[in-house]
Amino acid sequence: MRRPSRGRRAARHALAAVGATVVFATIPAGASPAPPGADPISWSPCPGQPQDQCGSVRVPIDYAHPSAGSIDLAVIRRPASGPGPALGDLLFNPGGPGLSAVGLFDLFAAALPADVARRFDLVSFDERGTGGSDRLACGPGTAALTAAVPASDAPGKALPGTPLYARLAADCRRRYPTLLPFVDTTNSARDMDRVRRALGARRIDYYGVSYGTALGAEYATLFPRRVAAMVLDGGFDPTEPLAGQAADEAPALATSLRRYLARCGGQAPCPLGPDPVAAYAAVFASLAAHPLPPPGGADVQPVTTGDLLAATLFALSSPGFTPGFPAAVARAGEGDGAPLAALATTFGEDAGGVALAPAQWAYICQDARDHPGPRATGTLAWALARRHPPAGAAAVTNNLAGCVAWPPARQPIAGLHGPSGLPALVIGGTGDPNVPYTDAARLARTLRRARFVTWVGDGDSWLLNDPSDPCMAGVVGAYLVAGRLPAPGSRCPARGGGA
């Protein structure tokens, strides 16, 4: 899945002071521009989180017709702990797309370098269609989608999960006819600027993780003079065609899986035995031939290779949060698929148990110009499964499967460019299975005004996988607090077994 964030002030960045004119997104001819101001946020203590403040910001559903309806975005803030005045507002997006930024706010605040957390007012908001911001709730349940077989047994066949994805698209259109067409990253970037205005900030800093890097890049494209500093951690270029994104991810996923299993084999004892690679392949083959019965008989979904691949992507993206993955695979090999199915379901849901699929596919499909059909997608999944066995087809499930029946995008993301002042900081992880290192490097080139830094490590983003790394903490802290860019070609080496 994909993720990022934002925030900042002027004196630190002479480069960022290039212009104080408000830059608005392009609005179709004949449309009314957005109002010049925004009501300030009315903050109140968050339930159960006395150190945080909660509020909301009202935004139009359709920026071309702002009087046609509005929604409220859930917003959360933690004031800078000091000493001294705050340097500005650092906004955060955890990615997904579809994850609740408000729900993951504490995780973000705890992971940030201490000097950053002390100097900034930390802010997050749930994007439209997610969390507390009129979330989308439609389509089949998470268990049904994760159990969808990821690839057919021959080229030219439709993607096996096509009926489920068609049902998802149709049900979401039926339930949310007004909101759904406007759930995309371009509108979310415009929402983010409404949050900036409601905060009373002239510019913001931003920290985005995985998909959040796409949101940050689109914001910098629409509002280049409203960015003080921007960290894009686990960056990917959303202008790349969906099939290309899958083709890039498949080898990264396969390499990451081999390395993960090899590390398990070097530990004593590894639940998958002395040859974890062979054990994993055997479980995959067994599930392909004979899916396991529904866990406990309570679920109508059998446990399939789809569940195995969803759990695998979860473990590879967040290895520190999924220590039970090897044991779950081993249990599946013994005939008990419950632990594996539980991991797969967790990967497909937010922290509060809310299905991510509706918002995830709304953003992915409505950001993309191309939507390959069921047969083209099925053939790609078959090819990647054969080229990068056994997990290659997961790249299709992760990047474009849900778009096989989705309507054409109204405003797909087109060209991108970076902020007008301080260049963005783009972080690429050498062992990222979800947003490959090559994609992060491509995003840095696409933005033009960006500095690329390599994190040698495993998982989807540095911040959520190894925030205590002193090298990366130093790079990010110096950039956000002092506006100091790392040297070109900077690289933070592995600490104990990274990629």
35 vs 225, higher pLDDT: 225
pLDDT tens track for 457-482: 999 999 999 999 999 999 999 999 99
What's the pLDDT tens digit per position in 481-493?
Answer: 999 999 999 999 9
Could you tell me if residue 283 is inside a domain? yes
Whats the size of the chain, residue-wise? Answer: 499
Which of 410, 439, 458 represents a domain boundary (last residue)?
410
Query: CA quadruple 92, 98, 103, 106: dihedral positive or negative?
Result: negative
Distance CA 365, CA 409 (A): 7
Rounded to whole angstroms, the Cα distance separating 172 from 175 reads 5
My answer on whether 218 and 272 are in the same domain is: no
Q: Are residues 46 and 82 in the same domain?
A: yes
The β-bridge partners of 231 are 207, 425
Other CB atoms within 10 Å distance of the CB of residue 146: 29
One domain, residues 201 and 339: no
Do 91 and 235 sit in the same domain of this protein?
yes
Rounded to 10°, the helix 357-367/162-175 angle is 90
- pLDDT at position 21, please? 24
Residues 335 and 430 in one domain: no
Q: Domain check: are 266 and 355 in the same one?
A: yes
Q: Tell me, what's the pLDDT at 186? A: 98
Q: Which residues contact 487 (CB under 8 A, 6 or more apart)?
A: none
pLDDT of residue 14: 27
CATH number at residue 94: 3.40.50.1820
Same domain? For 152 and 272 the reply is yes
Q: Which of 376, 394, 410 is the last residue of a domain?
A: 410
End-to-end Cα distance, the chain = 19
Tell me the CB-side half-sphere exposure of residue 85, using CA atoms within 13 A: 5
479 and 428 within one domain: yes
Any domain includes 390: yes
Residue 425 located in a structural domain:
yes
Of 273, 282, 279, 277, residue with least CA distance to 260:
277
Tens digit of pLDDT for each residue in 5-23?
Answer: 322 222 222 222 222 222 2
User: Which two tokens mark 177?
Assistant: 């006819």
Residues 9 and 52 in one domain: yes
Looking at the predicted structure, is the pLDDT value of residue 32 above 70? Answer: no
> Tokens in use for 233?
């951690």
Whether cis (ω within 30° of 0) applies to the bond prior to 83 is yes
Residue 201 and residue 64 in contact, taking contact as beta carbons nearer than 8 Å: no
The stretch 433-438 carries a mean pLDDT of 95
Cα separation values, 98 from 95, 211, 378, Å:
7, 9, 25
Residue 292 in any domain: the answer is yes
244 in a domain, yes or no?
no
Chain-centroid distance, C-alpha 288 = 29
The pLDDT of residue 499: 54
Residue 379 dihedral angles phi and psi, to the nearest 5°: -65, -40
Kindly list the distances between the CA atom of residue 242 and the CA atoms of 150, 209, 233, 397, 415, in Å, as whole numbers in the listed order: 16, 19, 20, 11, 15
Answer with the one of 354, 375, 410 that is the final residue of a domain: 410
Task: Quote helix, strand, coil % in the chain, to nearest 5.
Answer: 40, 15, 45
Q: Nearest-CA neighbor of 7 among 498, 483, 489?
A: 483
Q: What are phi and psi of 93, to 5 degrees?
A: -130, 125
pTM for the model stands at: 0.91
Ordered DSSP codes for 42-110:
--EEETTEEEEEEEEEEEES-TTSGGG-EEEEEEEEE----SS---EEEEEE--BTT--TTTTHHHHHH
Q: Report residue 497's pLDDT band, with 50, 70 and 90 as the boundaries.
A: very low
**Whether residue 187 sits in one domain with residue 56:** yes
Q: Does residue 57 sit in the same domain as residue 184?
A: yes
Domain-located, residue 247: no
- When divided into structural domains, the chain yields a total of 2
Phi-psi region of 484 (alpha: psi -120 to 50; beta: other; left: phi over 0): beta
Verify that 149 and 292 share a domain, yes or no: yes
Flag whether 51 is in a domain.
Answer: yes
Residue 101 structural domain = 5-136+179-239+413-492
| Residue 83: partners with Cβ closer than 8 Å, 6 or more residues away | 118
Identify the bridge partners of residue 431 per DSSP, sorted by sequence position.
458
Residue whose entry in the numeric block shows the structure tokens 């498949």: 250
Q: Rounded to the nearest 5 degrees, what angle is found at the Cα of 19, between the Cα atoms of 17 and 24? A: 125
**Residue 45: inside a domain:** yes
Mean pLDDT score across all residues of the chain: 90
Instruction: Give per-residue pLDDT as tens, 377-386.
Output: 999 999 999 9
